[in-house]
Amino acid sequence: MYRIGQEEVDEVAKVLLSKQWMRGGDPAAGHLQEVERFEAEWAETLGVSYVLLMNGGGTAGIVCALAALGIGPGDEVIVPAYTWLATATSVLTVGAIPVLAEVDESLGLDPEDFERKLGPRVKAVIPVHMAGRPANLARILEVAHAHDIKVVEDSCQCDGGSYQGRRTGSWGDAGAFSLNYYKIISCGEGGVLVTNDRELYERAFIFHDPGAGFRRDANQRATPLFVAQQYRASEIMGAIARIQLQRLEGILADLRRHQRRIITELAGQPGLRLAPSNDPEGDCGVVVAWQFDSEDDARTFAAAAPGGYIGIDHGKHVFTNWDALIERRVMHHPAMNPFNFEANQGARADYSPEVCPRTLDLLRRTYFYAIDPDWTEEEVAARIETLAAAGKAVA
C-alpha cells in the first residue's frame, strides 16, 4: 500500500454508522452497498463482465477461480517456479497438484517450458505477473488454447497493469488480484476475482459464500448451491477498496514516471543490463530489474545500491523455500492431504531444485530495485547517481 488518507477514514465511518457491515444489504433500506459498488467500478476499469471482491487476498481469488473451473483431485496445474508460494498452495487447496515450470528472462512463466510440461493431467495454468511485470500472455494463451488448458491469471502484484493495451487479469478464463497490505492498492486482506464467464462467476460466488442462497439475487442464479468456503468481503473492505481504486491511476503514473526516468538516464550505463520486458508500457513501474553475468556481480551491485533485493533472496517467492509443499505438509489431517489422494497417485509432484534450474540461475543474477511513487524528483536524481556508481563497480 502506497497511499491512504482522510477519504478512506470518512468512507469507513459511513459504513460503521450505517450498521450494515455485511455485503448484500438492501438499497431500498438505505444500505450503502460498498462491495457491489467497488465490483462495478473495478469491472469498468478492467473491461470485464463480472467481479467478485473477497476476503483472503489474491489467494482467495485463485482458489475460487480454480474451484469454479472444476479443478480438483486427479488434475495438475502448471505454476511458475518464481511466484508467491500461495499460487502453488491454492492448487493444493482444491485437491489438485501444482507442477512447476521455469520462468524466462522476463521473470514470468516461460511459455516454452509450459508447453514442455504439458501432460494428460494438466487442466490449467497460472501465469503470474510478478512485481508489476506482465507475463508473455500472447504465447502462453496460444499454448493453452491449443491444448484446451484453462488460464487463471495471477495479477496479484500487478494491480492496474496491462499487456498489449488490455489490463492484466482480463485475458484468461479468470484473473485474480490482491488488495493485500503490500500491494499497489489495499483494503487490508482483500482479494478480487474477475471473469467474463457467467457460470464461472456464479460458481465462484457460491464457493466464496456458503450463505449465497440467502442473497437477494439468489433466485437469478442457474448454478445449484454446494457446500463451500467463506471468503465474503465486508462493507468496510468495500469502502476502503473504492477509495483506493480512485487512487490507482495516480499511483501508477508516479511509479512509471520514476521508473522510466531511472531506465532512461541509466541507458547505456556500463555494467547494467535491463531484464527484458513483455510490455514496458504496461509495466506497473513497481521495480526496475537488472540482470548480471554472475551472482557475484549482482551482489556487488546490490551492496553498492541499497533499496532493492536479489531475486534468490526473495523468501517464499522462490520455490526452493516452499518448505511445507516440498515436505508435503498439507492440510490439517493426512486424509485431506492431496498428495495422499488416490486420484493424485502418479501426478508429477517434484519440487527439487533440479526441476527448474534456469529459474534459480536467473534469480541469482537479477536485482530488483523498488520504486516509491512519492519520491521527489531530487530523490530520484540522487538514487540515479548511486545506481550509476554501483553499475561502474561491476562494469
Q: For residue 220, what are the contacts with CB-CB under 8 A and spacing of at least 6?
A: none
Q: Is residue 117 annotated as part of the catalytic site, yes or no?
A: no
Q: Which amino acid is at 183?
A: K
What is this structure's pTM? 0.95
pLDDT band, residue 211 (cuts 50/70/90): low
Question: Between the CA atoms of 356, 358, 361 and 365, what dihedral angle is there, to the nearest 10 degrees?
Answer: -130
- What is the per-residue pLDDT for 383? 98
pLDDT tens digits for 344-357?
Answer: 999 999 999 999 99
| Residue 353 lies inside a defined structural domain of this protein | no
Domain range for 139 is 6-246
Q: Is 62's pLDDT higher than 60?
A: yes
Q: Is 214's pLDDT higher than 60?
A: no
Cell of residue 43, nine digits: 469491472
Number of H helices, E strands in the chain: 12, 12
Q: Is 139's pLDDT higher than 60?
A: yes
CA–CA gap between residue 257 and residue 85 (Å, rounded): 30
| Residue 329 lies inside a defined structural domain of this protein | no
Average pLDDT score over residue span 368-372: 98
| Residue 285 lies inside a defined structural domain of this protein | no
Which of 123, 183, 316, 392 is flagged as catalytic? 183
Assign residue 152 a region: left if phi > 0, alpha if psi is -120 to 50, beta otherwise? Answer: beta
| Residue 256 lies inside a defined structural domain of this protein | no
Cell of residue 51, nine digits: 467481479
Give residue for cell 511458475. 80
| Residue 290 lies inside a defined structural domain of this protein | no
Average pLDDT score over residue span 158-163: 98
When divided into structural domains, the chain yields a total of 1
The CA distances from residue 48 to 29, 145, 174, in Å, are 29, 20, 10
Q: Which amino acid is at 215?
A: R
| Residue 231 lies inside a defined structural domain of this protein | yes
| Residue 301 lies inside a defined structural domain of this protein | no
| Residue 193 lies inside a defined structural domain of this protein | yes
CATH number, domain with residue 71: 3.40.640.10
- What is the per-residue pLDDT for 251? 98
pLDDT band, residue 220 (cuts 50/70/90): low
